[in-house]
Amino acid sequence: MTLKLPTLVATSVVRGSQKGQSHGGVYLIDFENQTVDQKIDWNSGDIDFSGRGWDRGLRGVEFTEDAVWIAASDELFCYSPEFELIDSYRNPYLKHCHEISRRDNLLFLTSTGFDSLLAFDVQTKEFVWGFYISKNGAEWVGQAFDPRARGGPAFVNSYHINMVRVDQDGISFSGLNTQALLAVSADLSITEICSLPRGCHNAMPIADGVIFNDTASDTVRLVTRHTGERSVPVPTFPADELDFMGIDDSKIARQGFGRGLCLINQHIIAAGSSPSTVSIIDISQSKRLTAVNLTMDIRNAIHGLECWPADWS
């Protein structure tokens, strides 16, 4: 049976960009018809320019019945399916957000700067729950707090939490420095699902294993209990085809930086990388099926990836 290729929504971050320049955008990528439509060009003037990606660009993406929710560093935006801005929401404990995940009426967001997770109620339009993560020796510790009140966590960013996933099994999350995929239990204790390499992105449970962007190794990796490990290298390009090589003084902008991951089904995934490229991968066969490159600007990296709702196409 021929695979019907999906339409994906992708967000991007431009590292090293300056005031007045684009810091990323939102794109609809129709793989079936081989079209790309940029919906938003993110060029906000009130962005923190203190290195790395920081406030630049747009991040995680989620959907409710009639809205698209997109996170920036410290603000949650609500758009119509036509990408008309409906509203936006801030909270003092939301900083350097990376990914978001929805369960019922709650959006869960990584607040990377506060080593925390936040929950936003899409019905009441307020941040209603916070969860601070720390470590006591070898033991992970979680502490709930009210993001509407004072007395929450300090700005620390020890673990660089960059992924949250909420499904019928509960909440899982990970970060550059957690070196583990972690789960929040019903009693709010934290347990380790499995170990992870330092520096990975987008780790999430899948079937009997875990899938993630092994960013430091420039690969997308699947590890399962029964079939072992499968991996696919991140696409790269000849150096003379790349734009803005060496312009980012932080040396963070590089090609092959893997970030952004979504499940199309239990075998087919979409994965993002820099310069902004989205690959469709049959992970069960360790094979890249197709890819689309949005730009050869080395600073421009995919961040968020999700399947566009079929009834909106």
Task: Enumerate residues 6+ apart whose C-beta is below 8 A from 196.
Answer: 174, 178, 179, 180, 181, 203, 210, 212
Question: pLDDT value at position 226?
Answer: 78
pLDDT-derived band of residue 18, with 50, 70 and 90 as boundaries?
very low
pLDDT-derived band of residue 17, with 50, 70 and 90 as boundaries?
very low
**Angle at 7 (CA atoms; ends 266, 302), nearest 5 degrees:** 85
Rounded to two decimals, what is the model's pTM?
0.91
Task: Enumerate residues 6+ apart whose C-beta is below 8 A from 302.
Answer: 10, 11, 12, 259, 260, 272, 273, 274, 276, 277, 278
- Compare 126 and 52 and report the one with higher pLDDT: 126
Closest CA to 129 of 113, 112, 111, 141: 111
Rounded average pLDDT over 191-203: 94
What pLDDT, in 10s, does the model give residues 198-221? Answer: 999 999 998 888 999 999 999 999
Question: pLDDT value at position 183?
Answer: 96
Phi, psi of 215 (to 5 degrees): -60, -40
Question: pLDDT value at position 244?
Answer: 77
Cα–Cα distance, 272 to 29 (Å, whole number): 12
pLDDT-derived band of residue 76, with 50, 70 and 90 as boundaries?
very high
Is the pLDDT reported for residue 250 higher than 60?
no
Rounded average pLDDT over 218-233: 90
pLDDT-derived band of residue 107, with 50, 70 and 90 as boundaries?
very high
pLDDT-derived band of residue 243, with 50, 70 and 90 as boundaries?
confident
pLDDT-derived band of residue 232, with 50, 70 and 90 as boundaries?
very high
Residues in the chain: 313
Q: Are 291 and 256 in contact (CB under 8 A)?
A: no
Q: Over 162-212, what HEC string results?
A: EEEEEECCEEEEEECCCCEEEEECCCCCEEEEEECCCCCEEEEEECCEEEE
Looking at the DSSP bridge assignments, the partners of residue 209 are: 206, 224
- Compare 39 and 44 and report the one with higher pLDDT: 39
Q: Which CATH class is domain 33-196?
A: mainly beta
Closest CA to 63 of 98, 109, 9, 102: 102
Is the pLDDT reported for residue 23 higher than 70?
no
Phi, psi of 159 (to 5 degrees): -110, -5
Question: pLDDT value at position 16?
Answer: 52
Q: Over 82-118, what HEC string results?
A: CCCEEEEECCCCCCCCCCEEEECCEEEEEEHHHCEEE
What is the average pLDDT value for the chain, to the nearest integer?
88
Q: Are 259 and 272 in contact (CB under 8 A)?
A: yes
Closest CA to 196 of 179, 217, 174, 215: 179
Question: pLDDT value at position 169?
Answer: 85
What pLDDT, in 10s, does the model give residues 263-302? Answer: 998 889 999 999 999 999 999 899 999 999 999 988 888 9
Is the pLDDT reported for residue 309 higher than 50?
yes
Looking at the DSSP bridge assignments, the partners of residue 190 are: 184
CATH 2.130.10.10 location in the chain: 33-196
Looking at the DSSP bridge assignments, the partners of residue 120 are: 107, 127
94's tokens:
């939301």
264's tokens:
């199309």
